[in-house]
């Protein structure tokens, strides 16, 4: 539910051993290998310019997926210019001196591949999928725009207009998106997680060439990036390409990321939004909770399982109770976004049946949560929620993109590849008492925002 993800379409060679993935290193002569949930092993190494590299072999088809993950997101937007990280996701497709205009995507399309990108609060990802013999091509294109981006006045102004229009289409004209944006701003107080990834309208208009050049110089560099390649490749093949295409790029002096305080919330916030363009009412509840990066051992996993049990699908507790049994809602869902450098977010969204007030609906939601705060879940429903999560993780092995994404989101927020590999095991180990604690203590109403969206 967290609106932290926006997609664009809507120097020296050598390597050093780096214990990036939390496994024993193999020494400086070769990449580190680790067993993974995917077939075979993953490998890791780092170039001398600081570029981290992860290789996830997948031999089922002669295809590769490449991701370049920059450890920069909306939290790194300078004060008064929100949306700059997302703007740069767009700018990276404006061209370079060697590949002008839309030549990046056009070149990939001519070679039978596809590409896209997305931005979150904590990181930005650019990804391509193409036949394995084109790996050097897409690596060359990414390396080129890492240091040679066109930041002319005309390019910056044109893309700023594109982003402003995207905001009008995807947020300003969508009542539910606006309510979510307002709720998150209230939830995080002064923390930049409360600023929308896409940016506030007036602040988007402040982006100019000087701001763009400064942001690019301070954040887009090999020593602030992770290269992930999943597909029909070997570690040696990726190492050769990485050293050839990315190795010559110089490292840059980076701006240290700010360690923001987490302001204490003294009570629940409530928002009521009346919109004439809202088609149906909506109840939205957001909780500020622990994340995988900062939570105690097992805390994030318990929240993950509880979100699935509470509102993951039509078999979930909220759906059964409010939609099927009491018939006061037409839809009910819950989700947990725990891949964040700071706080995570637990979200509940419920749509009432015609004639049912949001007050009554909210009481129903609180009754369900209150039940689990005082009772441990039954064995069948706990096993079902775990099985669904673990099966979902297994199904990601059918997608190179999802395999690469699992490492991207973990490494970008400070976790390790070992965390990725052990996640199904930790989910299976969640105990009933941990879910009761998640309901009773994790979902703290002092750490919550409740929003009503009402048709005017």
SS3 6: strand
Note whether 96 and 148 are within 8 A (CB): yes
Contact partners, residue 260, CB within 8 Å, separation at least 6: 75, 190, 191, 192, 342
What residues form DSSP beta bridges with 7?
118
Residue 243 neighbours by CB under 8 Å, 6+ apart: 13, 14, 15, 47
Provide the strand spans (E) within 291-426.
Answer: 329-337, 344-352
Query: How far is it, in rounded angstroms, from Cα 25 to Cα 98?
Result: 38
Half-sphere exposure of 107 (CA within 13 A, CB side): 19
Strand partners, 452: 272, 283
Q: How far is CA 370 from CA 354, 374, 430, 444, in A?
A: 25, 6, 20, 11
A 10 A CB-CB count for 124 gives 27
The verdict on whether 89 is a catalytic residue reads yes
Torsion of the alpha carbons at 153, 158, 164 and 166, rounded to the nearest 10: -140
Candidate list 89, 142, 362, 447, residue with the active-site label = 89
Pairing of strands 329-337, 344-352: antiparallel
Catalytic residues: 89
């Amino acid at each position: 539910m967290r609106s932290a993800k926006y997609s664009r379409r809507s120097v020296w060679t050598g390597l050093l051993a780096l214990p990036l993935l939390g496994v024993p290193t193999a020494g400086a002569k070769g990449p580190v290998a680790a067993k993974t949930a995917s077939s075979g092993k993953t490998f890791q190494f780092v170039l001398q310019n600081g570029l981290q590299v992860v290789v996830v072999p997948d031999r089922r088809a002669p295809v590769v997926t490449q991701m370049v993950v920059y450890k920069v997101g909306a939290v790194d937007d300078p004060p008064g210019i929100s949306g700059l990280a997302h703007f740069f996701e767009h700018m990276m497709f404006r061209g370079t001196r060697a590949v002008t205009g839309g030549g990046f995507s056009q070149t990939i399309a001519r070679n039978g591949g596809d590409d896209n990108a997305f931005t979150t609060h904590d990181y930005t990802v650019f990804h391509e999928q193409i036949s394995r013999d084109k790996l050097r091509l897409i690596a060359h294109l990414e390396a080129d725009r890492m240091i040679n981006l066109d930041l002319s006045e005309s390019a910056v102004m044109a893309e700023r207009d594109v982003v402003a229009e995207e905001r009008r289409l995807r947020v300003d004209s969508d009542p539910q998106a606006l309510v979510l944006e307002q709720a998150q701003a209230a939830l995080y107080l002064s923390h930049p997680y409360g600023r929308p990834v896409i940016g506030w309208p007036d602040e988007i208009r402040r982006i100019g060439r000087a701001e763009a050049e400064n942001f690019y110089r301070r954040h887009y560099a090999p020593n602030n990036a992770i290269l992930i390649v999943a597909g029909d490749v070997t570690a040696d093949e990726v190492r050769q390409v990485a050293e050839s295409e990315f190795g010559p790029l110089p490292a840059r002096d980076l701006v240290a990321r700010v360690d923001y305080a987490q302001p204490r919330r003294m009570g629940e916030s409530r928002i009521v939004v009346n919109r004439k363009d809202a088609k149906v009412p909506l109840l939205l509840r957001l909780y500020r909770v622990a994340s995988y990066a900062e939570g105690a051992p097992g805390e994030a996993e318990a929240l993950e399982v509880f979100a699935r049990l509470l509102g993951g699908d039509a078999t979930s507790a909220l759906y059964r109770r409010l939609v099927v049994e009491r018939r006061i809602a037409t839809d009910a869902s819950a989700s947990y976004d725990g891949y964040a450098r700071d706080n995570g977010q637990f979200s509940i969204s419920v749509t009432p049946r015609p004639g049912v007030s949001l007050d009554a609906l909210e009481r129903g939601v609180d009754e369900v949560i209150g039940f689990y705060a005082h009772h441990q879940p039954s064995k069948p429903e706990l096993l079902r929620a775990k099985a669904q999560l673990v099966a979902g993780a297994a199904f990601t092995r059918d997608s190179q993109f999802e395999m690469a994404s699992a490492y991207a989101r973990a490494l970008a927020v400070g976790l390790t590849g070992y965390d990725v590999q052990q996640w199904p095991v930790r989910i299976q180990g969640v105990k009933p008492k941990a879910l009761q604690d998640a309901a009773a203590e994790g979902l703290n109403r002092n750490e919550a925002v409740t929003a009503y969206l009402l048709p005017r």
